[in-house]
Structure 1
Amino acid sequence: MASDSAAPPPLLSDDCHTGVPSRYFDQAVESRTRLHSNRTLPPSIPRQQQVPILPPDVTRETFTTAISELQNLLGNGNVEVNDKPLVDGWYMEHPNTHDAFHLVDQEDLVSSAIVYPGSTEEVSIILKWANQHLIPIYPISMGRNLGYGGAAPRLRGSVVVDLGRRMNKVLNIDGDAATCLVEPGVSYFKLYEEVQKTGLPLWIDTPDLSGGSVLGNCIDRGVIMGADCGWGKGYTPYGDHWANHCGMEVVLPNGEVLRTGMGALPGRDDADNPTWQAFQHAYGPSVDGIFSQSNFGIVTKMGMWLMPATEHQSYCISFPKDDDFEQIVEIIRPLALQRILGNIPQLRNVIQEIATTAKPRSHWFKEKGVMPRELIREIAKTLPCGDCAWVFYGTVYGPEETRNRQLEIIKKEFAKIPGSVFKLPQDLPDDHYIHSRVKINSGTPELKELDWLNWLPNAGHTFFAPITPTKGKDANIVYDIVTRLHHKWGFDCFPTWCVAGREMHFIANVIYDRGDPDAKRRVNGMMHEMIQTCAKEGYGEYRTHLLYQDVVAKTYGYGNQVLMRFNEMLKDTIDPNGILAPGRNGIWPKRLRGRGFELLGGDFEAPKAGSD
């Protein structure tokens, strides 16, 4: 659970799966110090409701009896009742009891208990126990799904199954095949350290922040700044983590253990199949997909492909005008389709150059309301990339001749935009954001992205994350909607585009003061309006916060909601008692469906002009 003491940040070397390697200790201390210096909330707010908060249809007598039974099965130290103060902590010391970045009351999304299995067999025991007592459970890998609900269960009062504390081993690294097999509690930090120990010339693909679960990020199909990753998909050529997973071990809701892909065929003498991490499919239908972004099973092992180490060159290009946006996207598309860009690049608005300085918003602007565009440009003039509107961050890979040819084409194409400026890392100061991108884009973990959170006191964040084609017209429609609604609701807009080729993930990072009830009300209003407005134009989110999963799911309404009805058929067949993560991604089991647990929004009054 989270700690808010003055103790040093946790270290991997102390056998803490959520910790950082010792080489990141000073960076972690500096980041935590900055965030705590900008905090006005107390470490803990007294709880107002009877504890523990129970799930629906479960009496206190039933719960007490069931928890006692589970403690007997797994050991008292592996089952904790959630009846203590709720502490939000910070990124490296996040809670597994509730959402650290709560957008509603801190107690509204909270668990009744937390259980720590130590093996696939114990996960199976937990599921059988949950079926016996009809107690809903909510599995997490590490709980660093910050920005999307963290470790909080979608159904209030569920028992959180924290897989990470005791299931955090890198089970295998195959240097010849460039693969690994991991448990849920393996962070990108840990996988990187384990690969380094082997001395093999292999890269991991790490997201913006590296403290979250490799497995959790993958099965939630995270892109930047999200998933049980604590922000992010990767940015090397292996950046699509779901596309580079291979072979899963899954505990089904009835407690049976299934292996996907070639793992379904036992190896010699019942050993693991030798091609389990080499080939993604088996004979017959490929079922892996139903265990991503779903509540159909608990993934306890996953294979991932690692990237052979290669030479690389990072760069950035700045563009002077807001109106350059459509042309930038049109230039990006053919370069991405021809794989000249090399990785999954980012196009970021210049306000993010300001945010990544780690200086709070009040350092630049003390007024209420949205930071004026004119001021953003004036501040940008004082920063290394200068007076610009957009900054594109990319990396090319391979031998020097290949890299030079790619960079030649990239510079030539983007030079068509008057005023664009190409820079290499050595052209920018040592503390500039590009140096973090160099590490991330070459598979080296980082914490730099935490500097965003110093923007506001008690900063929390969530994301609005629709998909668009890599076409300027489409991208501009979404950008205009998001920008307009940020202004309407009184929030600074931090847009980032992650380019995967034919499509782009648009990530709007919404930063708010979680100690300000009105700010949280306005975030909820803005999120609902952005979801509905973009959906009417045909642009849907690829993932979202717990609070908006029902409303996002309903926007995928083709064929009278046939996709959801199909998911519900699967749910009712696989999990007839409805005990596994009810409501996750809008999928409710039959016994809870239509009883008012869905969150479909409400009326949120927009702020008056000039409010903050």
Structure 2
Amino acid sequence: MKSKYLALPKGVDEAQFDAAIAEFAAALGAGQVLTSIEHLTPYTKIMMAVETTDHTPSAVLLATSVEQVQAVVRICNQYRIPVWTISTGRNFGYGSAAPVERGQVVLDLHRMNKILHVDPDLCTALVEPGVTYQQLYDYIEERQLPLMLSFSAPSAIAGPLGNTMDRGVGYTPYGEHFLMQCGMEVVLANGDVLRTGMGSVKGDKAWQVFKWGYGPTLDGMFTQSNFGICTKMGFWLMPKPPVFKPFSIRYDHDADIANIVELLRPLRIAQIIPNAVVIAGTLWEAGGANVRRSDYYNGGGVTPDSVIEAIRRDKGLGAWNVYAALYGTPEQVEVNWKIVTDVIAKSGKGTILTEEDVGGTQPFKYRAELMSGVPNLQEFGLYNWRGGGGSMWFAPVSQARGSECEHQVELATAILNKHGLDYVGEFIVGWRDMHHVIDVLFDRNNPEERRLAHQCFSELLDEFERHGYAVYRVNTAFQERVANIYGPVKRNVERTLKRALDPNGILSPGKSGIRI
């Protein structure tokens, strides 16, 4: 007999789930427990090259307090129901809001959206999971606080807690978001509430200023894991500088990538350029500027080089487009600007562009907003490049060496082109590392293209592993595969922790490949 539910949790029959739903409704309120197809459809939207039905939830629970989260884990333990937790609930490119496995209950925390505290003197904030960057930006602007945010792109609908828990990065000097995190409140699988760092000390006021507390530092084990549910997070905000000077450097040739990285690395390590530098390829910037492939080319397969050259000419783009900024007093910025321009001039390559040159045009305007902490949704334009709603971000990490980046671009391009897909990528330059983000864009409505995209992503993982590279984040369809890359010892430690903290395996089973 067909179930009244879109899906059922693994190992739970309809009668058991009926009883659990009744208890969820009693704990949360009937309007906070969603099971209809109308309400669940937004949570089934995926952009991966897999079947939607593989990631269909059985229900959605809308919690509004820590006490309600505790009630949810109690009921899930009682009925052995797996619960997949989301915060602001987008996660485009990495799997969206859908659970990793069919039948899991989604615990949606977006209604826990209080900005609990912002300290303009110490430059700290404490927020709940549902707080978005746009909401926090508006709060700061309305109160004219001299503070600046750092966030990923697109930013307005994302949130600091969720992005940090998945170890996302941003584009300001505070762009290493987990580094700037300070203090978590976590509901454990048994319902206990843990506060990390100084938060466990009654009456302590240093929770958002001193990370470490006493004994083992536990914050990191809750990121990219399923050991607890984070219900509050503190983090540091950057003081708004007197001067902000964004700039771009345009390079004409694909082969310039090695030289670019060698020039920029010393400037980043020395903090002459203090923010996370972006080196974006032509098609990444074209997509972000809302260029559609069909505007130039309607053929199948890989976009021809002649078309890419035409886009560069029409949109004023380089083969590689570097974006960075200087921050500080007028004197600091003047000194550092001379260092940067002297290095570029001495190299004999690259055209430097400033706000005076291209400030009102895209994509410079969008990039400047990212680097100055102004949220936007510009990067969603990437999904219009090919159309069809398919996107999987492939994000390998390497040393910040020109030879490494050149090798990764060649390797990725060959694999993507083999499957009829374009290289659409950018590098984000950390202090000593490179986050190489490649958007595997495809038409999800086309079964053949979906099949090719899945094969392509699998081959990217296989070949990059063979060359000693691994990704730092991945969509939910490939989390088990990526976990294997990191080896059996790490996996065994994670399983040991999981069994100790969540013996019934109810919290997001399969997240990052971790299970009991």
Name the TM tier (shorter chain). over 0.9
Partner of 2:206: 275
Pairwise CA distance, 1:102: 4.3
Pairwise CA distance, 1:419: 4.2
Partner of 1:351: 283
Partner of 2:474: 544
Aligned pair partner of 1:246 in 172, 179, 182: 182
Aligned pair partner of 2:272 in 340, 343, 347: 340
Secondary structure of the residue aligned to 2:55 is coil
Residues 23-80 of structure 1, C-alpha deviations (whole Å, 9 max, x = no match): xxxxxxxxxxxxxxxxxxxxxxxxx997320111100111011101211122101111
Secondary structure of the residue aligned to 2:314 is coil
Pairwise CA distance, 1:582: 0.4
Aligned pair partner of 1:555 in 481, 485, 491: 485
Looking at structure 2, the residues matched to 356 and 540 of structure 1 have their Cα atoms a distance apart, in angstroms, of: 26
Aligned pair partner of 2:337 in 367, 386, 407: 407
Looking at structure 2, the residues matched to 353 and 259 of structure 1 have their Cα atoms a distance apart, in angstroms, of: 41
Partner of 2:91: 145
Q: Does 1:213 align with 2:165?
A: no
Looking at structure 2, the residues matched to 568 and 82 of structure 1 have their Cα atoms a distance apart, in angstroms, of: 34
Looking at structure 1, the residues matched to 257 and 430 of structure 2 have their Cα atoms a distance apart, in angstroms, of: 17
C-alpha distance 86-115 of structure 1, shift in aligned 2 (>3 A): closer
Secondary structure of the residue aligned to 2:46 is coil
Partner of 2:448: 518
Letter in 2 for 1:264: S
Aligned pair partner of 1:322 in 246, 254, 273: 254
Q: Is the CA contact (8 Å cut-off) linking 1:81 and 1:114 kept in structure 2?
A: yes
Q: Is the CA contact (8 Å cut-off) linking 1:324 and 1:417 kept in structure 2?
A: no
CA RMSD of aligned residues (A): 1.5
Matches within 5 A, 1:358-507: 358-385=290-317, 388-428=318-358, 430-507=360-437
Partner of 1:67: 21
Partner of 1:100: 46
Q: Is the CA contact (8 Å cut-off) linking 2:48 and 2:475 kept in structure 1?
A: no
Looking at structure 1, the residues matched to 67 and 372 of structure 2 have their Cα atoms a distance apart, in angstroms, of: 37
Pairwise CA distance, 1:262: 0.3
Looking at structure 2, the residues matched to 551 and 458 of structure 1 have their Cα atoms a distance apart, in angstroms, of: 26
Pairwise CA distance, 1:418: 3.6
Q: Does 1:255 align with 2:182?
A: no
Pairwise CA distance, 1:276: 0.4
Looking at structure 1, the residues matched to 13 and 337 of structure 2 have their Cα atoms a distance apart, in angstroms, of: 65
**Higher percent of residues as helix:** 2
Q: Is the CA contact (8 Å cut-off) linking 1:187 and 1:212 kept in structure 2?
A: yes
Secondary structure of the residue aligned to 1:149 is coil
Partner of 2:201: 265
Q: Does 1:131 align with 2:61?
A: no
Pairwise CA distance, 1:351: 2.2
Partner of 2:59: 113
Aligned pair partner of 1:235 in 152, 168, 171: 171
Q: Is the CA contact (8 Å cut-off) linking 2:24 and 2:72 kept in structure 1?
A: yes
When the two structures are aligned, how many residues end up with a matched partner? 513
Pairwise CA distance, 1:583: 0.5
Looking at structure 2, the residues matched to 464 and 532 of structure 1 have their Cα atoms a distance apart, in angstroms, of: 12
Looking at structure 1, the residues matched to 3 and 457 of structure 2 have their Cα atoms a distance apart, in angstroms, of: 28
Looking at structure 1, the residues matched to 125 and 285 of structure 2 have their Cα atoms a distance apart, in angstroms, of: 35
Partner of 1:51: 5
Partner of 1:305: 236
Looking at structure 1, the residues matched to 154 and 135 of structure 2 have their Cα atoms a distance apart, in angstroms, of: 13
Pairwise CA distance, 1:186: 0.2
Q: Is the CA contact (8 Å cut-off) linking 2:40 and 2:59 kept in structure 1?
A: no
Q: Is the CA contact (8 Å cut-off) linking 2:166 and 2:223 kept in structure 1?
A: yes
Pairwise CA distance, 1:435: 0.8
Q: Percent identity, aligned pairs only?
A: 38
Looking at structure 2, the residues matched to 299 and 325 of structure 1 have their Cα atoms a distance apart, in angstroms, of: 39
Query: Normalising to structure 1: TM-score of the pair?
Result: 0.82
Secondary structure of the residue aligned to 2:131 is coil
Secondary structure of the residue aligned to 1:440 is helix
Letter in 2 for 1:586: G
Q: Does 1:181 align with 2:126?
A: yes
Secondary structure of the residue aligned to 2:174 is coil
Secondary structure of the residue aligned to 2:91 is coil
Partner of 1:6: none
The worse-fitting range, judged by mean Cα deviation, of 307-316 and 318-327 is 318-327
Looking at structure 1, the residues matched to 377 and 179 of structure 2 have their Cα atoms a distance apart, in angstroms, of: 25
Secondary structure of the residue aligned to 1:505 is strand
Letter in 2 for 1:582: P
Q: Is the CA contact (8 Å cut-off) linking 1:396 and 1:403 kept in structure 2?
A: yes
C-alpha distance 186-511 of structure 1, shift in aligned 2 (>3 A): same
Residues 126-157 of structure 1, C-alpha deviations (whole Å, 9 max, x = no match): 00110001011011001111111111111210
Pairwise CA distance, 1:523: 1.3
Q: Is the CA contact (8 Å cut-off) linking 2:186 and 2:193 kept in structure 1?
A: yes
User: Which ranges in structure 1 are unaligned for 5 or more consecutive residues?
Assistant: 1-47, 88-94, 223-232, 268-272, 590-612
